[in-house]
Structure 1
Amino acid sequence: MKSVGYAMLALLAAGSATAQTWQSDTGDSTALLYAGAFAPGGTTSFSCTTPSPQNVPLIETGDHESIRTDTPYDIVVGFNIDLMDPFTLPEQLDTVRIILDDVPYTLPRVSYSDFYGSWTVWMQMTDGLFPALTRAQSMVVDTGTGTAYAYPTDGLRDAVLATVNFCISGWEAQGDIAPRALSAWSGGQLAPAPAPIAAPTPASTPAPSGGQALLPGLSPAPTFPIPDQAPQVAIDRMVAQCQGEFSVDPSAVQAADVDGDGAPDYILNYSGVECFGGLTGRAYCGAANCQFDVFLSSRAYANPSEFLAIALDPVVDGQGRTGLLMASTLFGCADGACDTPFYWDGTQFTQ
């Protein structure tokens, strides 16, 4: 189980013991670069790591491998036990929300680690929560277990931006191109996105509604009609992502049974999402890729899975399995991500 780790906890203690506003801190263990934004008292934090340019093995520095945010542009949301008592609550919670200016952001499953003594959840910096933090005038952490905690926002913007930009610089130094959605709010100097590549496919193979040509052995998945009204949890998600009003082009939504329960699941391409709130325009698209959200009926359409792609289409393979075929840039297709479909295994999409 991933958690904040010893070095990050040391930063926490140093950065927030007496502070009355949000603070940021950074460090270099020679194996990992660390950055964190910490609430007064250290009860809530946002932290990230990148490989250190000194490239010293973890075993030589005492850093535990579980503290690494291995996926570029991951960020850890952490809470200490003063907020949620691990002795009276389950070790995993799906109820935690951060409410910014009365807009709720429901976190993915938050887990407690007895080894580290903290609650954490891994998220991507492109999630709508993080730009919202830089604009928030009020902040409440609602545990969903009957308690909620109000936080000051003094210093929050600067602390979050300092943390995010420190890790952006670290990942880009490793050659990992930053998601273009970060440029809308981080202020970082992001590297240009690589040119998109096309998947080699016979011309006779039909293309699904997303527009990409299909690989041999794949065919478009059966689709469902797009409803006039989206599930309320999906609407709440979009309000949170755009920090207010938004519009969706119906052509940006596909419906198919991706998780195998017989009910429609929805694939949302953010190229068709226009934000009119705290974020404006096509806030989740870059020069080539856009974010895609996959809302599954088996999860009551909550906590959508996210992809960064040019296209993401429901397909059926030769074994009758329904999956999602991705098209992306050269970087996005690294490690074979565009070679075969992603299939839902009950907990996540895997190839």
Structure 2
Amino acid sequence: MRPAVAALLVAVPLAAAADDLPPPVAAAIAEVEAACGSAPATLDPFVIDRQDVNGDRVPDFILNVGGLRCGDEEVSQCGLMGCPKIVLASSKNGFVVVLDIYAHDLRFRALNGRPAASANDEGWNCGSVRGGPGRTTFLWDGTRFACAE
């Protein structure tokens, strides 16, 4: 595992996972937790990746939300489109959500000198339906990742 990646790979109570995170990141986790109502919420696995995605040399947060467990009941957040991926990047005002999508995987790289994200998904391409699996590219526009296709 890369040193830049912090991963919690066991079922983790969301409130405990959010204790040491910046408030916007903790708020994104609380929003996932709200789906359980009053039942205790855990994500199995709940993975938080730390990686600079917007090119400012500050590690950002990528929340990979898989199966949600509400008490003893598993409630999958994943489907044909993949699993929720929530990206919070550093800004002048702290961390903000810059990409919130469903995808099977999400990768970050530079494209023509600009930060870019590439998502492997099924049947969706920048708001239009496609007839099968493919990759969608998002380019950093200075405040968020915008669909490039």
Q: TM-score band (shorter)? A: 0.5 to 0.7
Does residue 301 (structure 1) correspond to residue 92 (structure 2)? The answer is no
* Correspondence list, 1:49-128, <5 A: none
Does residue 230 (structure 1) correspond to residue 21 (structure 2)? The answer is yes
Does residue 311 (structure 1) correspond to residue 108 (structure 2)? The answer is no
* Distance change >3 Å, CA 302–CA 292, structure 1 → 2: same
Equivalent position amino acid for 2:115 in 1: T
* Correspondence list, 1:339-350, <5 A: 341-350=137-146
Residues 190-231 of structure 1 show CA distances to partners (whole Å, capped at 9, x for unaligned) of xxxxxxxxxxxxxxxxxxx8xxxxxxxxxxxx9724288433
**Percent of residue pairs identical:** 22
TM-score by length of structure 2 reads 0.63
Higher strand share: 2
How far, CA to CA, are the matches of 1:258 and 1:327 in structure 2?
17
**Stretches of structure 1 lacking an aligned partner (at least 5 in a row):** 1-208, 210-221
- 1:256 corresponds to: 51
Does residue 324 (structure 1) correspond to residue 142 (structure 2)? The answer is no
TM-score by length of structure 1 reads 0.30
Residues 10-46 of structure 1 show CA distances to partners (whole Å, capped at 9, x for unaligned) of xxxxxxxxxxxxxxxxxxxxxxxxxxxxxxxxxxxxx
Instruction: State the SS of the aligned residue for 2:55.
Output: coil
Determine if contact 2:81/2:102 at 8 Å carries over to the other structure: no
* Distance change >3 Å, CA 288–CA 338, structure 1 → 2: closer
* Shift of residue 346, structure 1, vs aligned partner: 2.1
Instruction: State the SS of the aligned residue for 1:270.
Output: strand
* Correspondence list, 1:137-176, <5 A: none
User: How many aligned positions are there?
Assistant: 123
* Shift of residue 328, structure 1, vs aligned partner: 0.7
* Correspondence list, 1:178-327, <5 A: 224-226=4-6, 229-243=20-34, 245-247=41-43, 249=45, 252-271=47-66, 273-276=67-70, 281-287=74-80, 289-298=82-91, 300-303=94-97, 305-317=99-111, 319-327=112-120
* Shift of residue 306, structure 1, vs aligned partner: 0.7
* Shift of residue 297, structure 1, vs aligned partner: 1.4
Q: Over alpha carbons, which structure has the higher Rg?
A: 1
* Shift of residue 248, structure 1, vs aligned partner: 5.7
Instruction: State the SS of the aligned residue for 2:53.
Output: coil
* Shift of residue 296, structure 1, vs aligned partner: 1.0
Residues 131-175 of structure 1 show CA distances to partners (whole Å, capped at 9, x for unaligned) of xxxxxxxxxxxxxxxxxxxxxxxxxxxxxxxxxxxxxxxxxxxxx
* Shift of residue 268, structure 1, vs aligned partner: 1.6
How far, CA to CA, are the matches of 1:293 and 1:284 in structure 2?
13
* Shift of residue 235, structure 1, vs aligned partner: 2.2
* Distance change >3 Å, CA 282–CA 320, structure 1 → 2: farther
Higher helix share: 1
Equivalent position amino acid for 1:332 in 2: W
How far, CA to CA, are the matches of 1:332 and 1:223 in structure 2?
33
